[in-house]
Amino acid sequence: MKKEELQAEIAALESKIQECQNRLAHLYREREELLKQEVERERYISSKEIIDLIYERTGKQSNMSMIKRWSDDGLLGEVVDEKELFWALRSKQGKKRFLYQKKYVYAFLYEKGYLKPMFDVLDRVSLKDATAASGVVINSQLHGDQFTYTIQLEDTGQVRQNVEEKQITWLLEGV
């Protein structure tokens, strides 16, 4: 190979490396934005998710027209377009999907009796932490977009405050 050919090949390869490095930096930025939006999306709930939540927690059937009416009356807080706010996330195809901040929706649904805690007072539960201790629910309260519980542990009598719903599960008898 001649000196000029080698120089041209080196320049082409350096150019390709620079393009790949730019592309890699762009992909890192996109991934970072995607992760941020995934975390932020957890703070919102869609109309369909509201219907499912009501049914899951109370067994009551609801419909989109009821959710739309509440939204139009401003009872669910500010409405945002999912595709506009969370452009980096893959969204469902078709019609616009409206989202509402969970803290406002949960407060409204709780006030209206459409949202109840998963665990009732005196339910026996197990903690999902390393102790896997069992206890009894002695109180529950809604904090923002989640229920928290006060649990008295069965083996020590210790009372644990502000235990999040996701940190407990039903106590399986005989296990």
Q: What are the pLDDT digits (tens) for 11-20? A: 999 999 999 9
CB 31 within 8 A of CB 38: no
- Closest alpha carbon to 162 in 148, 146, 151: 148
Most confident of 89-98, 134-143, 165-174: 134-143
- The least confident of 50-54, 88-92, 115-119 is 88-92
pTM to 2 decimal places? 0.75
For residues 21 and 41, the model is more confident at 21
pLDDT in tens, 102-120: 999 999 999 998 988 989 8
Give mean pLDDT, residues 22-30. 95
Give mean pLDDT, residues 144-159. 90
Q: Using H for helix, E for strand and C for coil, what is the string for the chain?
A: CCHHHHHHHHHHHHHHHHHHHHHHHHHHHHHHHHHHHHHHHCCEEEHHHHHHHHHHHHCCCCCHHHHHHHHHCCCCCCEEEHHHHCCCCCCCCCCCCEEEEHHHHHHHHHHHCCCCCCCCCCCEEEECCCCCCEEEEEEEEEECCEEEEEEEECCCCCEEEEEEHHHEEECCCCC
